Amino acid sequence: MTGKQLWSWLAVVFAGLYFLLPLVGMFDFSMRMQRGVYSFEAYRIVLADPQFQQTFGYSVALALLTIVIGILLVVPTAYFVRLRFPGLRPAIEFITLLPLVIPPIVIVFGYIRIYNTSSVLPLTGSWWGTNILLLCGYAVLSLPYMYRSVDTGLRTIDIASLTEAAQSLGAGWARILAVVILPNVFVSVLSGAFLTFAIVIGEYVFAALLNVNSFGPYMVWMGGNRAYEPSALAVVAFVITWACMGLIQLFTRFSKFSTARR
């Protein structure tokens, strides 16, 4: 092993330890609920808790709906900006980055002020209205990730030629988007979608201030009231996130056609 290689390995090992040690510590702690033995007792309690099942299911549903809204909002926007208004791209990119700069609490306070029960559109007054607000808020939070990944995906295909080819064959805009554009940026849409999923699953501020019983507030409540279960819950959350990342890789690798090889 040459000196150069040694240093490279040292750097990798150091980084690995930096990331893994806290996780190992957390996992170890979550296994020590029963005195003197290693067990999955904390996991059993968490997974059997009806509150966990209810809030987790609810958050998964919210995340999936957010992804659908995100796709419907972002794919046509990114496509038309690239195709027709390329000059607007910096402005649109800036707008989509705003959710990273403006704290969610500002957005949700804005919502509550505008849509409270004494307003013209009292969305916070009903279960449906609150959920709609929550979905809109989550769609905004996911914008930076969704827009960026879709825009990057669009860059790898010649959308102008593909669009014109489809038009010359008689296709209208809806068909072009659904049959030609979306499938070709599907991998990018998926990576945006999984990031959205990861954000929405653990989101706390929106849910807490809109008084919605989702997975984020449940985790916080758990953290404040139990000892071992929160660690188990954190490990579960990590596994879910990693599974999402793994799925992105899988889809990228095994997608039927490759956009890279053209």
Partner 1 sequence: MAFLDIRHLQKSFGALRVVQDFTLGIEKGEFVSFLGPSGCGKTTVLRMVAGFETPTSGAVSIDGHDITGLPANRRKIGMVFQAYALFPNLTVADNIGFGLRVAGQGKAEIARRVGEMLELIGLPQLGSRYPFQLSGGQQQRVALARALAPRPQVLLLDEPLSALDAKIRVSLREEIRRIQRDLGITTIFVTHDQEEALSMSDRVVVMHQGIADQVGTPFEIYNRPATRFVAEFVGTLNLIDADLVDAAAGHVRLGGVPVTLGRPAPGRAGERISLALRPETVALGRDGGDIVLPGRIAEVHFLGPVLRVRVAVEGGGFISLDTFNQADRPPPSVGAPVDISMSHRDLLVLAA
Residue ranges in contact with partner 1 by CB under 8 A: 157-158, 161-162, 164-172, 175, 179-180, 183-184, 186, 256-259, 261-262
Judge whether 146 and 154 are in contact, CB under 8 Å: no
Closest contact distance (angstroms) between CB of 192 and partner 1 is 18
Q: Cα dist. 2→7, 11, 73, 150 in Å?
A: 9, 15, 52, 42
Rank residues 173 and 221 by Cβ distance to partner 1 and give the closer one. Answer: 173
Rank residues 63 and 185 by Cβ distance to partner 1 and give the closer one. Answer: 185
Closest contact distance (angstroms) between CB of 200 and partner 1 is 28
Closest contact distance (angstroms) between CB of 179 and partner 1 is 8
Determine whether 217 is exposed, middle or buried from the number of CB atoms within 10 Å of its CB (0-12, 13-18, 19+): buried
Residue 69: CA count within 13 A, CB half-sphere: 21
Closest contact distance (angstroms) between CB of 142 and partner 1 is 24
Closest contact distance (angstroms) between CB of 154 and partner 1 is 13
Rounded Cα gap, residues 22 and 27, in angstroms: 8
Rank residues 27 and 173 by Cβ distance to partner 1 and give the closer one. Answer: 173
Rank residues 48 and 260 by Cβ distance to partner 1 and give the closer one. Answer: 260
The two structure tokens encoding residue 24: 């190992």
Rank residues 28 and 164 by Cβ distance to partner 1 and give the closer one. Answer: 164
Sign (positive/negative) of CA torsion 15, 18, 19, 21? positive
